[in-house]
């Protein structure tokens, strides 16, 4: 008994000595794809974005020591869940950031909830993160499938693209995206004249594109992602689909995808994003710094979301004076968000971050004034209309 008492006293003394130093040390883990198809839109760029947030926040001056580590989840949910578990159990990570690929994000969502830590997702698309699988420990920052379907779907119908044809990747994500977009299109007064499902992952889209071309649709909705989207856009260009008067609507296309495709191929594509480097002075200034720190690539909305998420988290750490996850999450939801990239916004009770979304059209090569000048702003979707209404998500926290 005596010995254990002694040990306890010693332990308590050490703990008190620890807190007496007043510094809060937080450890951020950037978990994303660093080698596969999403390495460009997240990858090392997200780590740079997180570092920039720490610098811009002047964390060191405010007595907050921040350490950032990163790992590659290879877009696999099992790898993501293993790393997340290990980070929380062993490495003392407080927050996991980014996590593109919905399946991996949902896995981290579960582990984070179980371990009561904080998960600020930027890269994943699934709206389930703030819907049926919502968690009190998760903030979904940048975008989701509902916002993309809503942005691209309703805007295209309003600009005259009433008849839709879907090219859908034949798995759960593709089906969900097609379903959500169909609902939006029909609600806006459009109609879906047909759809075709291609195997996932696919390489030859010619027969599907020919069906789409002959369907009489005004808009061809690409309910797929990554390599499938790139391949279908490339092959659509070979068939002259956009030149023939049909519009391509990419439901999940990132700036880096357009960069990889080139304007000649991607021109005329309509897409929804929540951030573009050339939006205003603040985004231009930040993006310029970002490009200098990295290898010259402009940031994607995913990387911008990591920056803004870290900034908001650090503000919450400063405000609560500690890093207790429950207090931090409450603070993050209570405090309005304000950052140079997404402007003013808020984090909703279900974890959904609310801000404006933008509908862009990819420029033709002769309209582009230089490197990375790819998008033309078509319209702004105001924050209150950009995301799924709280009541529709089926999140238990919203009740």
Site for other proteins contains 200 (CB under 8 A): yes
Is 191 a binding residue for other proteins by CB under 8 A? The answer is no
Interaction mask 231-270, other proteins, x per CB under 8 A: ----------------------------------------
Q: Name the segment binding other proteins (CB under 8 A); options: 158-166, 167-175, 265-273, 369-377.
A: 167-175
The minimum distance between CB 20 and other proteins, in angstroms, equals 30
Q: Which is nearer to other proteins, 86 or 379 (CB)?
A: 86
Closer Cβ to other proteins, 81 or 274, answer by number: 81
Which residues lie closer than 8 Å to 213 by C-beta, 6 or more apart?
239, 241, 244, 246
User: With binding defined as CB under 8 A, does residue 103 bind other proteins?
Assistant: yes
Rounded distance between C-alpha atoms, residue 233 and residue 239, angstroms: 10
Which of 38, 119, 173, 277 is close enough to bind other proteins by CB under 8 A? 173
Question: Given the complex with other proteins, which of 118 and 129 has the nearer CB atom?
Answer: 129
Which of positions 33-72 make contact with other proteins (CB under 8 A)? 34-35, 70-72
Smallest distance from the beta carbon of 83 to other proteins, in angstroms?
A: 7
At closest approach, how far in Å is the CB of 279 from other proteins? 31
Q: Smaller CB distance to other proteins: residue 197 or 388?
A: 197
First to last CA, the chain: 49
Contact characters 104-123, other proteins, x per CB under 8 A: --xx--x-------------
Contacting residue, 23, 170, 285, 292, with other proteins by CB under 8 A:
170
Q: Residue 70, by phi and psi: left (phi above 0), alpha (psi -120 to 50) or beta?
A: beta
| 23 counts as binding other proteins under rule CB under 8 A | no
Would you tell me how many other CB atoms lie within 10 Å of the CB of residue 294? 17
CA pseudo-torsion sign 146, 152, 157, 163: negative
Does position 85 interact with other proteins (CB under 8 A)? The reply is: yes
Q: Is 129 in the site for other proteins (CB under 8 A)?
A: no
Give the integer Cα–Cα distance in Å for 29 and 25. Answer: 13
Stretch that binds other proteins, among 12-20, 83-91, 146-154, 250-258 (CB under 8 A): 83-91
CB of 183 to other proteins, least distance (A): 20
Of the pair 4, 90, the CB lying nearest other proteins is at 90
Q: How is residue 289 written in tokens?
A: 């710094």
Asked if 156 interacts with other proteins (CB under 8 A), we say: no
CB 52 within 8 A of CB 307: yes
The torsion of the CA quartet 256, 345, 324, 97, rounded to 10 degrees, works out to 0
How many CB atoms within 10 Å of residue 7?
10
For residues 143 and 381, what is the distance between their CA atoms, to the nearest angstrom?
13
* Least distance CB 106 / other proteins (angstroms): 5
Using the minimum distance from each CB to other proteins, give the nearer residue, 32 or 265: 32
- Residue 238 exposed, middle or buried by CB count within 10 Å (0-12, 13-18, 19+): exposed
Say how far apart CA 116 and CA 138 lie, in whole Å.
10
User: CA-CA distances (angstroms) from residue 220 to 91, 151, 169, 256?
Assistant: 47, 15, 13, 21
To other proteins, the closest distance from the beta carbon of 39 in angstroms equals: 8
Q: Which is nearer to other proteins, 76 or 162 (CB)?
A: 76
CB of 323 to other proteins, least distance (A): 22
* Cβ-contact 175, 168 below 8 angstroms: yes
Nearer to other proteins, 200 or 239 (CB): 200
* Nearest-approach distance from CB 35 to other proteins, in angstroms: 3
β-pairing, 219-223 vs 95-98, is unpaired
User: Considering only residues 4, 5, 14, 90, which one is a binding residue for other proteins as defined by CB under 8 A?
Assistant: 90
Phi, psi of 135 (to 5 degrees): -140, 145
d(CA 283, CA 235): 33
Rg of the chain over all Cα atoms, to the nearest angstrom:
22
Binding site for other proteins (CB under 8 A): 34-35, 70-72, 76-79, 81-83, 85-86, 89-90, 102-103, 106-107, 110, 126, 133, 170-173, 200
């Amino acid at each position: 008994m005596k010995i254990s008492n002694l040990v306890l006293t010693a332990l308590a003394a050490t703990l008190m000595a620890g807190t007496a130093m007043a510094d809060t040390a937080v450890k951020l883990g950037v978990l994303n794809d660093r080698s596969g198809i999403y390495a460009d839109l997240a990858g090392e760029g997200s780590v740079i974005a997180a570092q920039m947030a720490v610098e811009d926040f002047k964390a060191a001056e405010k007595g907050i020591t921040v350490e950032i580590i990163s790992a590659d989840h290879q877009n696999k949910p099992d790898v993501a869940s293993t790393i997340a578990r290990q980070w929380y159990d062993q490495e003392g990570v407080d927050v996991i950031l980014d996590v593109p690929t919905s399946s991996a994000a949902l896995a981290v969502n579960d582990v984070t909830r179980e371990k009561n830590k904080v998960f600020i997702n930027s890269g994943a698309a699934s709206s389930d993160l703030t819907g049926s699988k919502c968690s009190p420990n998760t903030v979904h920052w940048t975008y989701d499938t509902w916002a993309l379907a809503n942005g691209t779907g309703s805007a295209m119908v309003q600009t005259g693209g009433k008849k839709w044809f879907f090219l859908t990747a034949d798995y759960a994500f593709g089906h969900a995206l097609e379903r959500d977009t169909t609902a939006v299109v029909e609600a806006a007064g459009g109609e879906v004249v047909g759809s075709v499902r291609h195997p996932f992952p696919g390489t030859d889209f010619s027969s599907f594109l020919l069906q789409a071309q002959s369907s009489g649709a005004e808009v061809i909705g690409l309910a797929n992602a990554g390599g499938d989207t790139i391949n279908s856009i490339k092959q659509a260009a070979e068939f002259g689909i956009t030149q023939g008067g049909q519009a391509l609507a990419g439901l999940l296309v990132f700036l880096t995808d357009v960069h990889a495709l080139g304007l000649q191929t991607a021109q005329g594509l309509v897409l929804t994003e929540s951030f573009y480097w050339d939006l205003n002075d603040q985004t231009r200034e930040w993006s310029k710094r970002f490009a200098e720190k990295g290898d010259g690539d402009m940031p994607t909305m995913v990387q911008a979301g990591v920056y803004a998420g870290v900034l908001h988290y650090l503000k919450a750490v400063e405000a609560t004076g500690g890093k207790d996850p429950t207090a931090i999450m409450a603070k993050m939801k209570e405090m309005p968000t304000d950052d140079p990239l997404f402007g003013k916004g808020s984090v909703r009770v279900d974890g959904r971050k609310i801000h404006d979304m933008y509908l862009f059209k990819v420029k033709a090569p002769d309209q582009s004034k230089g490197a990375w000048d790819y998008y033309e702003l078509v319209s702004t979707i105001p924050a209150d209309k950009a995301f799924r209404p709280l009541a529709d998500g089926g999140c238990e926290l919203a009740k």
